[in-house]
A and B are shown apart, each in its own frame.
Chain A
């Protein structure tokens, strides 16, 4: 018994050391974002002697951080709202209707999960240009409605089937129907899966790269956070301290949100994977 607990302590210590090594690259990024160029070039792993916060004010202004943040927020929120709206009503109706048509439509909605983005990226981009959705954050957000729908449909559809039909019927007797029935009675019952959809899609849209690169890379005023960090590093290949500052500014929002909502995020990610 005693031997086992000693083994556990060793294991515990080894794992903690391992986890710190695992996060060491992020730590190095942080400390080097606070060094001057000369200091960074002499020694990367040493702690900064004095904190060069002016790196941050420089990059903040240069890439117009508040604007990028706003762009990211617009794209993510617009995309998310649309995905939830079209998928929840669609999945609800399809799960409640038993017919050949319903089955076919459902199949058509989830099938695209098998289409890799790279297989259609050129033609998607051309269509976006045709519909005047490109070079605009609103347009980009709208595009996610389609890209996010298959997985969200799949998750909602599976869950709606577990809600007893009697709930709909009693609401109909009370005089509710159509969208009112859905939004006042059914939608609140979908809360847990809606949370899952939100977590998966926010992580995906917030960090997405290739679609924004193709859609909104033309002007600094439409760029997203990741995109701006990408172009910024391209311009400052040797000024590593600025590059690292941009990296920290790009990842910090995600890390803060993760620390605050860790439990929900992990749960949502697992639920999404297990159902999807």
Chain B
């Protein structure tokens, strides 16, 4: 009898401790997710009372006749690939330099990290100002041609601007991850290689980099999940322009749902984004996990 009672209190306690988080997660993620799946099969403008069921028509149209989506997808892929590669290379470079224990390392680390604590929308506006007003003055005083270009007005340049501003904002984050990773590379290994006559470049590629693999996994993973959802910075920097050439998938979904009121169609795209993120994440984690080296 007493044992039964104890079992019950244990169960009750388990419920009391886990139910709050379960409810929060269910309300915020699972219920909306199921609703998303349902809406994606309908045509709905949000005003009429009932969404009209149209099966897979939304998906058919997205994949066959939607140039907005295909150009946004292409933009996002290009952006993600370049962002991941450039930011990781630069961050490793910065981390290696800062790890050399320069006198100003503390200042440098803080300086490169600061933009990361700022809101991306604000960062976008600040750079819009720099590109539109600041570059004019800089061009006048330096005479450099580079400042006279229309960095937000030409599709190719606008793409580069978005990429550069995103990298500027977040490089500090990747840098500190790599600095932490470098501190786990044992000094005696590097020392042994030095004694064996390996130069700094050789030492970096055959010792430091392989041992940095866990940090690379984390950073590439973070860079991927962040870049595939790029939105805020584009909104404030170019607003999708010029001529709608800088819409990302996330921004395209936002445009369909909240600016054009295509609720069913927009959620169908949102579902495609989810599946893409899921597949890419799983692929990436399995590939990188296999490659890591034990220190």
Binding site for B on A (CB under 8 A): 8, 11-12, 15-16, 19-20, 22-23, 25-26, 28-29, 32, 40, 43-46, 82, 85-87, 89-94, 97, 102, 105, 108-109, 112, 114-124, 126-127, 131, 143, 145-147, 149-150, 153, 177-179, 182, 203, 206-210, 214, 226, 229-230, 233, 240, 243-244, 247, 250-251, 254-255, 257-259, 262, 265-266, 269-270, 273-274
Least Cβ distance of A104 to chain B in Å? 11
B129 to chain A: which residues have CB within 8 Å? Answer: 28-29, 32, 240, 243-244, 247
Known: A251-B118, A254-B118. A269 touches B173 (CB 8 A): yes
Chain B residue with the shortest CB-CB distance to A153: B21
Decide yes or no whether B247 CB sits under 8 A from chain A.
Answer: no
Known: A11-B102, A109-B22, A153-B21. A115 touches B267 (CB 8 A): no
Chain B residue with the shortest CB-CB distance to A146: B28
Decide yes or no whether B201 CB sits under 8 A from chain A.
Answer: no
Select one of A40, A229, A259 contacting B133, CB under 8 A. Answer: A40
Decide yes or no whether B111 CB sits under 8 A from chain A.
Answer: yes
A148 to B29, CA, bound (A): 11
Contact (Cβ within 8 A) B102 A15? yes
A179 to B29, CA, bound (A): 27
Known: A44-B134, A122-B270, A266-B113. A251 touches B119 (CB 8 A): yes
- By size class, the interface of chain B is 35 or more
A270 to B116, CA, bound (A): 13
Contact (Cβ within 8 A) B266 A150? no
A251 to B126, CA, bound (A): 11
Contact (Cβ within 8 A) A120 B33? yes
Contact (Cβ within 8 A) B21 A87? yes
Decide yes or no whether B61 CB sits under 8 A from chain A.
Answer: no
Select one of B17, B25, B218 contacting A93, CB under 8 A. Answer: B17
Count, A-B residue pairs, CB within 8 A: 244
Binding site for A on B (CB under 8 A): 13-14, 16-18, 20-22, 24-25, 27-33, 35-36, 39, 97, 100, 102-104, 107-122, 125-127, 129-130, 133-134, 136-138, 141, 168, 173, 176-177, 180, 218, 222, 228-229, 231-232, 236, 249-250, 253-254, 257-258, 263, 266-267, 270-271, 273-274, 277-278, 281
Contact (Cβ within 8 A) B125 A247? yes
B114 to chain A: which residues have CB within 8 Å? Answer: 23, 26, 255, 258
A241 to B134, CA, bound (A): 12
The 9 closest A-B pairs by CB, nearest first: A146-B28, A90-B21, A93-B17, A123-B32, A207-B119, A19-B111, A112-B29, A123-B35, A44-B137
B177 to chain A: which residues have CB within 8 Å? Answer: 270, 273-274
